[in-house]
Amino acid sequence: MFGQWLRAPRQLRLVFIATMLLLSGTLGWLAWRLLDQDQQLLLQRLAEQRDTAADLVVAAMEKRLTAVEQDLDHVPAADSSKRLAQAEGAIVFQFLPDVIRAWPENRLIYYPELPHQPETPPALFAASEELEFKNHDYPGAIAALREAASSNDSKVRAAALVRIARNYAKAGQPRESIETYQGLANLGAVTVGGLPAALAASLAILGQQAEPPARLDAARSLYRDLNSGNWPISFAAYQYLSGEVALALPEAERPAPARLALAEGVEWLWERWHPARDSAALSANRASVPTSTGAVLLVWRIAGGEIHGFAADTGYLEKHWLADLKPLLDSRGVRLFLTNPDGRRVVGEPPSSGSRAAVRLASVTQLPWTLQVFQTSDGGGAWQSRRALLVAGIAVLLALILTGGWFIGRTVEHELAVAKLQSDFESTVSHEFRTPLTSLCQLSELLMRGRVAGEQDRQQYYEALHGESHRLRRLVEALLNFGRLDAGKLQFHFEKLDAAVFLRQSAAEFAQGQQAHGHRIEVETHAASSLIHADRETLRCVFWNLLENAVKYSPDCDTVWVELTKKGRQVEVAVRDRGVGIPRHEQRRIFEKFVRGSAERESGIRGTGIGLAMARQIVRAHGGDVSLESEPGKGSTFRVLLPEREA
Ligand code: ADP
């Protein structure tokens, strides 16, 4: 039942299309799954890359910190201190119970605290101060101070110079006053009035300059001296002097110095150390501390009553610790972002929102930072090109399947059509055989039983027997020839023929036989002599077939016209009838084997559908061709073109 349903071409086509769609759909689904899995795999690989990079960075940082800690055990041994603080941005320091020491000294622009420096005994300057404040005798006071100004004790000298400069100023001699301050500046770190002499001199000069250009210069010079770190200065003094500078110098000209971070870092630790020790904060031994100019790394060891510490700013970290890791990070296509445990940026740029990062928390790694490693690109580019490649491959595969399917479909349909034609052909041929055979049986039985009325009837029966057996013979010959021709085994025996003579003879023979059904064949030859090279027998079959068709398909006209003309170097034989004609859509197909006109099949006109196919093949074997002109209801003309042969 199902087999029969399947055999119907329409159903078969439906099943075929459904199969193709199913196949394509399955392929598409598989492709989609493949793409999805591919993306998952890529994401997983990227995550692994981030994780390994993060672990490597953690390990490298830990190694660095451990090395620093080991070196700190040997501070203040000169080589350890030097090694640790050899580059700009780092400093080594030591907190003794009341003193802070730093290497290199000038990198610490202020100290959280400085030991109290005893002032010079006031009695030393009692005489000059009496002259200055009571008598307002400034030159006298200056003269009284001269001796102290050349003292061997630099502290006494500094105190004397400050007083001389002050008296000059009061005496209305600003130039001399400033010159004296400049002399004081040469004493550098010697403290006077709680400040290093150089800074005290710069501050005093700034105080004396009222006019803008000179005042600005004095402020710039104080700003430079203040941040040079050349003279130890306490945090309180630093703040005071910075305030003075800020009054005289525009903000743009006094950026926060890079070294400020180190000083703020050291101060942070000092506050937790002195005087009441914050042991919870100190036990960590490592910290990343926010300052006004970025974070500072602090590493320290507590040994006895001392702290040995190391501080480094972000510039130092980037240049000396993280630069080594850059090739490793680059090779994995990842970037690093360090933050303080509270989330404030230390180094690097934060990942864009939505990008995945491998995070290592400070609390877990025991590093002073929380660390994030993220991909510089999301791998989208690589994935996109892989996806494009995969999609293209699948598209090609689909196209191949569909094209293949289309070809298979067409071939199957064609084969089905041929099979149908063949089965039609078989039933037609059986029918063609049965009719003459039945006649033969009946006639021979009548003759055998002697049931024939008279001699005339007997003669007619014999003629009928002759006609039917001829028809059978022609049918068998035609089938045999067709079989040979189809198998390419038909032998042609070419000879030189006069087309006109040959045509007249063939037509005359045809007209005499029963197959003419009384039709007249009018032959007209316009070419007196036209030689062709042909196989007489097969070519005769061709003409007879055309004539037989013309007779068969002209029920209402008893004449068939045959015309021979020369067309250039070709001989044309036209067989014309005024019969039923052939619809345009069938004109091409009727030359194919087993194909019969639909009207003919339905009206019951006998035929096998192989005549025209054979005719065309035979004519082509002669180097010519057959063409057709036809109009339904008006008739048809078949033209056989054959190459002419030289005489
Ligand atoms: P058949 O045995 O059916 O005549 P042919 O191969 O000789 O087979 O012809 C194929 C079909 O061509 C015929 O079935 C018929 O439909 C059409 N045909 C051929 N010759 C003519 C004609 N002279 N007039 C109309 N139809 C024709």
**pLDDT per residue over 265-322, tens digit each?**
999 999 888 777 777 778 888 999 999 888 999 999 988 788 999 999 999 999 999 9
Ligand 1: atom nearest CA of 607 is 2
Q: 383 CA distance to ligand 1 centroid (A)? A: 65
The arithmetic mean of pLDDT across residues 413-437, rounded, is 83
- What is the amino acid identity at position 356? R
| 232 pocket-lining for ligand 1 (C-beta < 6 Å) | no
Residue 339 has pLDDT above 90, yes or no: yes
Distance 590 CA to ligand 1 centre (A): 7
Q: What order of strands is seen across the sheet that includes strand 90-95?
A: 100-103, 90-95, 306-313, 294-303, 286-291
Q: Which two tokens stand for residue 513?
A: 């036989």
Q: Which of 474, 612, 640 to mutate to test the pocket of ligand 1 (most atoms within 8 A of CB)?
A: 612
Q: How many other C-beta atoms are found inside a 10 Å radius of the C-beta of residue 543?
A: 21
| Separation of CA 575 and ligand 1 centre (Å) | 13
- Which atom of ligand 1 approaches the CA of 579 most closely? 24
615 CA from centroid of ligand 1 (Å): 11
Mean pLDDT over residues 59-67, rounded?
94
Q: How far is CA 90 from CA 53, 96, 108, 341, in A?
A: 26, 20, 10, 21
Cβ of residue 596 lying under 6 Å from some atom of ligand 1: yes
Residue 509 near residue 462 (C-beta atoms within 8 A): no
105: CB partners within 8 A, 6+ apart:
229, 232
User: Rounded mean pLDDT of 489-498?
Assistant: 91
Ligand 1, closest atom to CA 612? 6
What pLDDT is stored for residue 3 in this prediction? 54
> Region 78-101: what's the mean pLDDT?
81
Nearest CA to ligand 1 atom 7: 611
Q: What was the pLDDT predicted at 2? A: 52
Q: Is the peptide bond before 351 cis (omega within 30 degrees of 0)?
A: no
Distance 503 CA to ligand 1 centre (A): 21
Q: What is the pLDDT of residue 119?
A: 79
Q: Over 80: is that where the pLDDT of 13 sits?
A: no
Q: Which atom of ligand 1 is nearest to the CA of 608?
A: 2
Q: Given this model, what pLDDT does residue 5 score?
A: 57
Q: Nearest-CA neighbor of 78 among 104, 97, 107, 114?
A: 104
The token pair at 391 is: 């999609």
Q: Tens of pLDDT along 383-423? A: 778 788 888 988 898 899 889 888 988 888 888 888 888 88
Q: Which is the closest atom of ligand 1 to the Cα of 575? A: 23
Mean of pLDDT values over 87-112: 87
User: 522 phi and psi, to 5 degrees?
Assistant: -100, 115
pLDDT at 80: 66
**Which mutation among 479, 482, 554, 590 tests ligand 1's pocket best, with the greatest number of atoms within 8 A of CB?**
590
- Report, as an integer, the average pLDDT of 256-263: 90
Asked if residues 369 and 288 have their Cβ atoms less than 8 Å apart, the reply is: yes
Residue 633 has φ and ψ, to the nearest 5°, of: 85, -15
Point out which residues pair with 531 in neighbouring strands: 498
Would you say the CB of residue 635 lies under 6 angstroms from ligand 1? no
Largest CA distance in the chain: 192
- Does residue 580's CB lie within 6 angstroms of at least one atom of ligand 1? yes
* 50 vs 52: CA distance, rounded Å: 6
Mean pLDDT to the nearest integer, 507-527: 88
Pocket of ligand 1 contains residue 89 by CB under 6 Å: no
How many whole angstroms from 580 Cα to the centroid of ligand 1? 10
Instruction: State the pLDDT confidence band at 331, using cuts at 50, 70 and 90.
Output: confident
Low-confidence winner among 64-68, 130-134, 386-390, 392-396 (lowest mean pLDDT)? 386-390
pLDDT score for 6? 52
State the pLDDT confidence band at 240, using cuts at 50, 70 and 90: very high
Is the CB of 607 inside a 6 Å radius of any atom of ligand 1? yes
- Segment 526-536 shows an average pLDDT of 85
Q: Report residue 647's pLDDT band, with 50, 70 and 90 as the boundaries.
A: low
Higher-confidence residue of 618 and 303: namely 618
Angstrom distance (rounded) from CA 307 to CA 267:
13
Distance 405 CA to ligand 1 centre (A): 35
The CB density around residue 343, as the number of other CB atoms within 10 Å, is 8
For residue 296, give the amino acid letter: V
Q: What is the reported pLDDT for 81?
A: 66
Which residue, 60, 639, 106, 573, is CA-closest to 367? 60
DSSP string of 415-469? Answer: HHHHHHHHHHHHHHHHHHHHHHHHHHHHHHHHHHTT---SHHHHHHHHHHHHHHH
Q: Ligand 1: distance of its center to the CA of 505 in Å?
A: 23
Q: How far is the CA of 32 from the centre of ligand 1 (A)?
A: 56
Of 492, 623, 630, 500, the residue nearest 553 (C-alpha): 630
More confident of the two residues 514 and 150: 150
Q: Read off the pLDDT band of 105 (50, 70, 90).
A: confident
Identify the weakest region by mean pLDDT among 284-293, 338-347, 482-491, 611-620.
482-491
Atom of ligand 1 nearest to the CA of 580: 25
Residue 24 has pLDDT above 90, yes or no: no
The whole-number pLDDT of residue 479 equals 86
Mean pLDDT of the chain: 87
What SS3 state is found at 395? Answer: helix
Supply the pTM of this predicted model.
0.59
Q: Which letter, b or e, does each residue of 296-317 get, where b requires 16 or more Cβ atoms within 10 Å of its Cβ? A: bbbbbbbeeebbbbbbbbbbbb
The yes-or-no verdict on residue 487 having pLDDT over 80 is yes
Q: Is 294 in the pocket of ligand 1 (CB under 6 A)?
A: no
pLDDT digits over 193-203, tens only? 888 999 989 98
Query: Is 237 close to ligand 1, i.e. is its CB under 6 Å away?
Result: no
Instruction: Indicate which atom in ligand 1 lies nearest the CA of residue 581.
Output: 25
Which residue, by CA, sits nearest to atom 21 of ligand 1? 549
Closest CA to ligand 1's atom 4: 607
Any ligand 1 atom below 6 A from CB of 597: yes
pLDDT band at 371 (very low <50, low <70, confident <90, very high): very high
Q: What is the pLDDT of residue 635?
A: 93
Q: Between 378 and 155, whose confidence is greater?
A: 155
Task: For residue 381, name the pLDDT band (cuts at 50, 70, 90).
Answer: low
Cα–ligand 1 centroid distance for 417 (angstroms): 19
Whether the CB-CB separation of 67 and 310 falls below 8 Å is answered with: no
Going from the Cα of 591 to the center of ligand 1, the distance in angstroms, rounded, reads: 9
% of the chain exceeding 90 in pLDDT: 39
Looking at the CA of residue 600, tell me the nearest atom of ligand 1.
16
CB of 183 sitting under 6 A from ligand 1: no
551 C-alpha to ligand 1 centroid (Å): 10
Distance 108 CA to ligand 1 centre (A): 116
Distance CA 289, CA 261 (A): 9
Which residues, 6 or more positions from 333, have their beta carbon under 8 angstroms from its beta carbon?
49, 375, 376, 377, 379
